[in-house]
Amino acid sequence: MSHSNQTSIHDESDAVPGDRGIEEEGEGLTGYLIGLGLAILLTAVAFFVAHTSLVWGPSIPVALTVLAIAQMGVHLVFFLHITTGPDNTNNVLALAFGLLIVFLILVGSLFIMSRMNQNMMPMAPGMQMQGTF
């Protein structure tokens, strides 16, 4: 049996994830330009919110947080191509795992720092700084 008798038929159902062309998935230059436009728009809005008196003062941190989350979403979808499609399951799981690790490190660090003062040994009376300046 020779290999020349076998024909190679490419079936779309047996393609590996990400095997389709970039232009087929809408991730070409147009997608990058849309992402760039949205990123520039969100950045400009963030600067506007931070430097204007038109926005109620106490709401500025909330507005900037919402804009930052939207900016991250734009970068994930348009530049890193992380979507919820069936061929991106591993990418979404890797992102979720990374976020879990960052969350655990952040919460653990804050917990340790909040308990540091309680766990420290009391300072000897001769070691305390005197206000001689």
Neighbours of 88 (CB within 10 A): 16
pLDDT of residue 132: 59
pLDDT greater than 90 at residue 8: no
Tell me: the pLDDT tens digits for 74-115?
A: 999 999 888 877 888 888 888 899 999 999 999 999 999 888
pLDDT of residue 18: 54
pTM greater than 0.85 = no
pLDDT greater than 90 at residue 53: no
Name the nearest CA neighbour of 16 among 97, 91, 86.
86
The domain spans of the chain are: 25-81, 85-118
Asked whether the beta carbons of 92 and 84 are under 8 A apart, the reply is yes
CA-atom Rg of the chain in angstroms: 27
